[in-house]
Structure 1
């Protein structure tokens, strides 16, 4: 945490996010323009919220930011008040997003609060395709009926405006990029997998410390408890404590068996339940094509050993 005692928290960092760069055209068909899909044909606007936020109101669009959308869905599913407290509509028709300022811990791989805030002003226009300007190209707003997911997605797309050079250098090191002076910006930066740490996003939105951990792979030497049982009990404990569990599927090598249970390779998911039979239930941030419930052995086949949660 920040200094403590009589130390003053750092002043808020402000940013204005208008029209962040589109996604990399080399990877997918990019949108053609910015539009106003939040405005309905009758002139009314899709509401920011419709009751408490839910994970079902998060739906990934035509951009590879499953890591972000699954995190937003997990927070909505466990701590909807954190979403409500982070974003509001302003009198001028824009949105204000307030995030906790964080920094990399010097003692661990986690992120810690600095005591400051990041205040992001987000305009309501969103990327669209010219042949379907009524629909947002990225996080869905028409089927979900709410705007908060798309507004938070846009805020995170523009968050690089607040990055220091040290933060940019760390991003490049994290991605193993050595031949460019700066990261891509806007939605381009969000596209294509693990480009930001999910623990960072959890801490920014909830104000609570998060951690990345690995599931058990060996029998506990003290208790003799089998590895599979350890994982099931740990997932149940975390869910009982209302803590998100974010996981990622594998990229099978050519000589390895393919993924099963409708799991997409290299995709971020959320563990939402472990039932009485020990079957693990997992949510796809596309809001469809969810994996079939699977045993812990089937889970090990399909998913990496790492997961992210709150401490």
Structure 2
């Protein structure tokens, strides 16, 4: 195959700069129009009506389009950065240039995050149990741990809030959150406490069930836990990591490590659809930014949620333009607010991190500036039934 494949970063940047210039000009025109309407010597109901029309509709519309153009310009910078990084020898591109274009963000930090998220082996050396805090059962909070104390009822699974921990397996944990919202009974049925104090967990490989045994001593201290909410005032420990408990997500996480591993790197980074299929055993509909028109609309998201289908999304690996979103991170879609035009996301990091546990993203930012990949799982009645 010969010829050029991909986009020309110089052309993308030039077009982005033109969009930003015209966006700025539209904003200025709206302000000039509003000023002119207020300053003209004209009184009466018609004058008031015209001024109100200009202020409420015309100037606002120009401002909205100005923001849209500027956002599209920044999106082109982002695509240029991705193209430049993919084409360059070291995968980094022009650090100073993109740091300036992307609003002062450190380009090197951004691309390092993306590389860590997507690389097959994000760590130079194998990640060890000690690097994850050692065994939970050897920790102060886990010294009296009894597997029988883990509440694996569907009610507990539906109610528990996730706290991710130190592993980069948000694709798995967000899928667990989504499946727990869709059918907590299915997850409860797929974890069994054995008489010897270990658990059997059913995962799925190409739609076929695989039973994986998890031992309590395998669970890392810095792994996923169930966030304890309202644990008391600050002097009593408050809502802290040490107060968080082992929950269904802790056991599922270790089951995935045992099945895909045995190394911890086996669960670092994958697609939204992969997590849903591993957990539910049914096909998930996947889409990404390369399919352009393949992302579901707000109406389609709303319909899927009404059918109790689990939905997860991945944010832009370079830099989502909603500052409440982390890059290259998978979130659960928990709802759609048609009145405000927002999609509601839940972060598997939980509360208490440097990012909020719940994020509301306007639809015009959702796919254009924030989300690059969506996974929509099967209906709960199809869980465990294999590929369709």
**Do they superpose with TM above 0.5?**
yes
Matched, 1:212 2:292: no
Structure 1 unmatched runs, 5+? 1-22, 103-112, 129-135, 162-184, 219-226
Provide the residue aligned with 1:159 in structure 2: 259
Give the aligned partner of residue 137 of structure 1.
Answer: 222
Q: 1:120 to 1:310 in 2, by over 3 A?
A: same
The structure in which a higher percent of residues are strand is: 1
Q: How far apart in 1 are the matches of 2:251 and 2:124?
A: 22
Alignment partner, residue 170 of structure 2: 66
1:309 shift after superposition:
0.9
Among 261, 269, 281, the alignment partner of 2:344 is 281
Greater Rg by CA: 2
Q: Specify the alignment match of 1:190 in structure 2.
A: 267
The higher-RCO structure (CA 8 Å, 6+ apart) is 1
Contact 1:282–1:293 (8 Å) recurs in 2: yes
Distance 1:41 1:245, change over 3 A: same
When the two structures are aligned, how many residues end up with a matched partner? 231
Q: 3-state SS of the aligned residue for 2:333? A: strand
Match of 1:81 among 179, 185, 190: 185
- After TM superposition, the score normalised by the length of structure 2 is 0.52
Q: Deviations over 1:224-283 (max 9, x none)?
A: xxx99x711111111111111110111337xxxx62241111111111111132211111
In the TM superposition, residue 292 of structure 1 has moved relative to its aligned partner by 3.4
User: What do the CA deviations read for 1:46-97 (whole angstroms, capped 9, x no partner)?
Assistant: 4142534127432200111111111111100111122111111100000011
Q: Tell me, in whole angstroms, the C-alpha distance in 2 between the residues paired with 1:187 and 1:26.
A: 11
**Aligned partner (choices 152, 159, 169) of residue 49 of structure 1:** 152
Map Cα deviations across residues 176-208 of structure 1 (whole Å, 9 max, x no partner): xxxxxxxxx4212223x22xx443442343232
Indicate if the aligned counterparts of 2:333 and 2:343 stay in contact, CA closer than 8 A: yes
Partners of 2:303 and 2:212 in 1: CA distance: 35
Tell me how far 1:38 sits from its aligned partner: 11
From the superposition, tell whether residues 268 and 201 of structure 1 become closer, same or farther in structure 2 (CA, over 3 Å).
closer
Q: Which has the higher helix share?
A: 2
Root-mean-square deviation (CA), in Å? 3.2
Distance 1:77 1:142, change over 3 A: closer
